[in-house]
Amino acid sequence: MKSNKPDRRDFLKTGGILVGGAMVLPTFSQAHNYFPAGNDVIKVAVIGCGGRGTGAVVQALSVKQNVHLVAMADAFKDRLDKCYTDITSNDYQDWSGTKGATPKDRIKVSEENKFVGFDGYKKAIALADVVILTTPPGFRPQHFEECVKQGKHVFMEKPVAVDPAGIKRVLDAAQIAKQKKLNVVVGLQRRYQNSYIELMKALKSGKIGDVISSQVYWNNDGVWVNKRQPGQTEMEYQMRNWYYFNWLCGDHITEQHIHNIDVMNWAMDGYPVKAQGMGGREVRTGKEFGEIFDHHYVEFEYTNGAIMNSQCRHQPGTFSRVDEVIHGTKGKIHFGAGKLYKGNKVALQVNVKTEPNPYQTEHDVLFAAIANGEYKFSDAENGAKSTMTSIMGRTATYTGQEVKWDDLMNKPYSLVPDSRKMEFENLNWNTLPPTLPDGDGHYEIAVPGKTKLFAMK
């Protein structure tokens, strides 16, 4: 008798069928070959060839399944070329623990399938079964929409947008992705990390009682700066320094601190209803740092009254901590240490030192599901709402006002003026970005108490 289960090739064409529903709190194997390999080639394209894109490609090509990289796209040729060199290098290693070299027989990118510029993403997407989205996050909504339109499975890095208008686009596309049964994994890798999964199981089984508060941290020195070069247009300068411009990055509370914020959202099975806080530029004040703050402190409140105290800081020489602690009525969980406490005593200790690299695991399970014709992952909605949480926090620190979730969702502001529709097809290196410097090269900085809630660029 002919089986009713589609093969992998049919699944890649149609988006697959639901098999067993969504995966709930799995524990992943120590080995990367936990799942059986598929027989057919899974074709991959990467959109955004910077450091994170390079690492994600190496991880995707390191899974057991028969995965080939067939297309690459980036606004800059030098970044695309470096990415191609790095993924074939035995010396490649990045901050996530990913190491080269990628198997050479899995790299199948011809010169005509290396797309440079703002408008090559559609062509790259068309060539693939799975698309890796790792550009600056300001472009993520448009790229994700195109992937869903073309019926592609997706791995996309966090955050998934930089403003509420972008969040609305991602949420709308996420619903279509579900209808098409497209697997979507978002790079909030703590949700794919064994120690976090085990501790969250304990939390959800009531081991610490009802969640009442948390402290979440991303405090460190900060990131790179690329100096302005002679002859650069303003668009090229901002694209080279995308981290410091909100229409591209969303500020570090969104680009980095989303990881820690997402852990509390995961614990609460929900999202805050309002936020208030403070922030500014105490140390990182030069014009080379664009328009973002160097510190944020936000108090988020959930429907049941639980509070998340959130802090992130980019100030060299200060106390560093990237971590999450969640308190309940019967105990607390310190995720970074892998410990659950009852009073002052450790009631549960989980492994945090030798567990699998979660950056690799999220690719392992994504490609295993695709190879097996299964629909298991629909992270886009969760990724969008945790991104939105961070945007609500940023809006609170920029304005100095209490900000409500419903206000932002019902009247979603954009960091790009309505008169400047920044679709990729309309961009070139002479396009003026939404944020421009004054005569001395300084950018306008938000001022709490003066910056208005819905008057943001």
Does 212 share its domain with 179?
no
Q: Quickly count: other Cβ atoms within 10 Å of residue 419's Cβ.
A: 5
Does 309 share its domain with 422?
yes
Does 85 share its domain with 135?
yes
Does 149 share its domain with 264?
no
Q: Which is higher by pLDDT, 95 or 448?
A: 448
Does 362 share its domain with 351?
no
Nearest to 388 by CA among 135, 114, 160, 98: 160
> Over the stretch 383-433, which tens digit does the pLDDT of each residue have?
999 999 999 999 999 999 999 999 999 989 999 865 456 566 678 999 999
Does 326 share its domain with 374?
no
Handedness of CA 48, 51, 52, 53 (dihedral sign): positive
Range of the structural domain that residue 226 is part of:
208-355+392-426
Nearest to 83 by CA among 134, 40, 122: 134
Q: Is 21 exposed, middle or buried (0-12, 13-18, 19+ CB in 10 A)?
A: exposed
Does 162 share its domain with 212?
no
> Over the stretch 176-229, which tens digit does the pLDDT of each residue have?
999 999 999 999 999 999 999 999 999 999 999 999 999 999 999 999 999 999
Does 119 share its domain with 265?
no
- Decide the pairing of beta strands 67-74 and 114-116: parallel
Nearest to 262 by CA among 379, 148, 143: 379
Number of structural domains found in the chain: 2
80: domain CATH number is 3.40.50.720
Which residue in this structure is represented by tokens 């945790």? 386
pLDDT value for 18: 37
Does 246 share its domain with 185?
no
> Over the stretch 109-118, which tens digit does the pLDDT of each residue have?
999 999 999 9
- 176 CB contacts (<8 Å, ≥6 apart)? 148, 149
Distance of CA 66 to the CA centre of its chain: 25
pLDDT value for 280: 98
Does 219 share its domain with 315?
yes
Q: Which is higher by pLDDT, 302 or 105?
A: 302
320: domain CATH number is 3.30.360.10
Does 137 share its domain with 258?
no
